[in-house]
Amino acid sequence: MTSLSERSRSGPAAPRRPLDAEAVRAAYARWARVYDPVFGLVSAPARRRAVSAVNALPDGRVLEVGVGTGLSLPLYRRGLRVTGIDLSPEMLARARAKVVREGLDHVEALLEMDAEDMTFADHAFDSAVAMFVASVVPNPRRMLAEMRRVVRPGGTLLFVNHFAAKGGLRLAIERAAAPFSRALGWHPDFALDALLTMGEREEAEITPCPPGGLFSLVRLRNG
């Protein structure tokens, strides 16, 4: 990656390359080993909120999109049947090891699959949840469309994510970090309207989550 000083020597920065599937796999192959200690703590309160929302639903089949290293898997109540998908084999290997180590019988399957092009049948799940994934996938609206397809009508769709601030210092920092998206493995300046249409934003239940509202929980009913 070009450093800031190299860039100023060689003129203007190259145009931003989007975070495509290849970049996601490369980033999370690097992140897998250190993901839990580095990201586990800061994400824990928001993750608990999302899993609590899932746990309050009736028994049924839950799809966790971008399950990563499976940090949330031990938190689901037994009675739910959970399937996780992820693009990164290294992240999935960690999740599979957790399932075996902790005897997580409620986890039905962990599959290498693209959230934007799932192989599940229509209406195969009662709910789907994507935690810290919307700002990573190349096309978040396509992921949402796929989640809508595989969840039954009337089912629940949940997202936990960091969304760009509307202004102020936080937005300035997010924009400054944006050119490093490929190396980071997510878009720091990811906006809510990159995921939801205006109609969906009006319909969604959006709750700020700790720490300090850095993350938000978004809940949609599958129409």
Ligand X SMILES: C[S@@+](CC[C@H](N)C(=O)[O-])C[C@H]1O[C@@H](n2cnc3c(N)ncnc32)[C@H](O)[C@@H]1O
179 near ligand X, judged by CB under 6 A? no
> Of 69, 62, 66, nearest to 92 (Cα)?
69
Of the pair 30, 175, the CB lying nearest ligand X is at: 30
Q: Which of 86, 146, 174, 189 binds ligand X (CB under 6 A)?
A: 86
53 near ligand X, judged by CB under 6 A? no
Stretch that binds ligand X, among 7-15, 54-62, 81-89, 174-182 (CB under 6 A): 81-89
- Using an 8 Å Cβ cutoff, are 19 and 180 in contact? no
Comparing every residue's Cβ against ligand X, the nearest one is 68
| Residue 123: CB minimum distance to ligand X, A | 20
Of the pair 26, 191, the CB lying nearest ligand X is at: 26
Give CA 82 to chain center in angstroms. 16
Q: Please state at what angle helix 21-31 crosses helix 89-102, rounded to 10 degrees.
A: 50
Binding mask 116-155 for ligand X (x = CB under 6 A): x--------------xxx--xx------------------
Q: Which of 88, 127, 156, 216 binds ligand X (CB under 6 A)?
A: 88
What are the CB-based long-range contacts (under 8 Å, 24+) for 181-186? 181/16, 181/19, 182/1, 182/17, 182/19, 182/23, 182/27, 183/1, 183/27, 184/27, 185/19, 185/23, 185/24, 185/27, 185/28, 185/30, 185/31, 185/136, 186/19, 186/132, 186/135, 186/136
110 near ligand X, judged by CB under 6 A? no
Of the pair 13, 183, the CB lying nearest ligand X is at: 183
Q: Which of 53, 73, 80, 85 binds ligand X (CB under 6 A)?
A: 85
Q: Is the bond into 211 cis (omega within 30 degrees of 0)?
A: yes
163 near ligand X, judged by CB under 6 A? no
| Residue 146: CB minimum distance to ligand X, A | 9
51 near ligand X, judged by CB under 6 A? no
| Residue 12: CB minimum distance to ligand X, A | 29
